[in-house]
Amino acid sequence: MVTVEDIGKRVEDDEGRVGILRDVIPDYEDPAELPWRRRKQPIAFLGPEQGGREWLVPPGHVERLETQA
């Protein structure tokens, strides 16, 4: 699981997608949902390493990749 301390680090989600952790919001509400269907949930924002469309994943489904020396 990732935390705010991992922001800016390389991470991998459960589907094998690798990216950079952009943010972790513990009480995110999806603005695309109708107001009465919104619920607060923890969400991690990940961005592709080479740029592109960001994706959202629960933080428990993301692991930090260790850097090799």
DSSP per residue, the chain: ---GGGTTSEEEETT--EEEEEEEEEEE--TTS-GGG---EEEEEEEETTS---EEE-GGGEEEPPPP-
Q: Is residue 16 part of a domain?
A: yes
8 burial via Cβ count (<10 Å: 0-12, 13-18, 19+): exposed
Supply the pTM of this predicted model.
0.88
Q: How many domains does the chain have?
A: 1
Q: Is residue 35 part of a domain?
A: no
Instruction: Domain of residue 56: give its range.
Output: 1-20+47-69
Please list the pLDDT of the chain residue by residue as tens digits (69 residues): 999 999 999 999 999 999 999 999 999 999 999 999 999 999 999 999 998 999 999 999 999 998 654
Q: Is residue 26 part of a domain?
A: no
